[in-house]
Amino acid sequence: QSKDNGRNRFTYFTASMQEAAQARMAISNELRRAIDDDQLAVHFQPIIDMASGQIRKAEALVRWLHPARGPVSPVDFIPIAEHTGQIVTIGNWVFRKALAHARRWRRVDRQLTVNVNVSPAQFYHTNGENCRHWLADHSFDTGGGTGPPEVGIEITEGLLLASNSAVMKQLLAFQQAGIKISLDDFGTGYSSLSYLRKFNLDYLKIDKSFVYNLEHDAANVALCEAIIVMAHKLGLEVIAEGVETEQQYDILRRAGCDYGQGFLFGEPLPPDAFEALLHGPPLLTA
């Protein structure tokens, strides 16, 4: 689902909608070429332990450098790829890249986990094949003294709401392989909360819209604090997205937030630049 899908929601079908449809078709056609022509890349954004300032995880984020358009935001092409089904190819590619890097980085940091975003469409289109394929094709490092698996997955509330037994089985298979599941963009969906009981998730990611302007927004502070208390009581750890200022970091740390991600700690970076961060000092000293 597009993050800005409210924009045209209530307009009638007009020429501009037809143009939008054509633009989507163009993106979809060009995306096919992008996959073949090596225009996609995966960048990695650090996720830090709030208490120590050390990198503990990374989020893998796909990037598209279009030869003519320049960088195209995933916000603009992921929803289209979900609609056309191209997300399955893209998602598998991102997953393999992320896993390969994560394996290499384990030699530098034996704790590091790389989180990969998995679209609901990846669960539906493949009828479980994706998950079985990943688990069979990659002999995961599932502990055995060397730490947790190298990859985790990020899913959104929509997947859990629409959950059927097939999706549940796949999620369970991931978890049985030791793969940790993060609930992404928490608070932006329907948030029925009942699925938090039903699914035994590992991390809850507070959406960046709640972190935005935190130092000047008492309501957002209250929401963040309440989300953190609730998550902890349910046995989940909390990752705050979109941390941009020292004050936001302070407020979240004092509220007991476990992990932070945002421009304050580091932007999404190409693999080599991210690896350099791993060799460096903590990003922030608490």
Nearer to Mg ion, 74 or 256 (CB): 74
Q: How far is the CB of 146 from ligand C2E (least distance, A)?
A: 26
Could you give the count of Cα atoms lying within 13 Å of 263 in the half-sphere of its Cβ?
Answer: 5
By CB under 6 A, residue 109 contacts ligand C2E? no
Single residue of 113, 117, 130, 182 touching ligand C2E by CB under 6 A: 117
By CB under 5 A, residue 150 contacts Mg ion? no
By CB under 5 A, residue 82 contacts Mg ion? no
Single residue of 74, 158, 178, 187 touching ligand C2E by CB under 6 A: 74
By CB under 5 A, residue 157 contacts Mg ion? no
Q: How far is the CB of 189 from Mg ion (least distance, A)?
A: 11
Distance of CA 151 to the CA centre of its chain: 12
By CB under 6 A, residue 266 contacts ligand C2E? no
Nearer to Mg ion, 74 or 85 (CB): 74
For residue 261, the cross-strand partners are: 47
* Cβ 8 vs Cβ 24: under 8 Å: no
Partner that binds at residue 121, options ligand C2E, Mg ion, none, CB closer than 5 to 8 Å by kind = none
Which positions lie near ligand C2E, rule CB under 6 A?
45, 61-62, 73-75, 78, 87, 91, 94, 117, 119, 154, 184-185, 208, 241-244, 261-263, 268
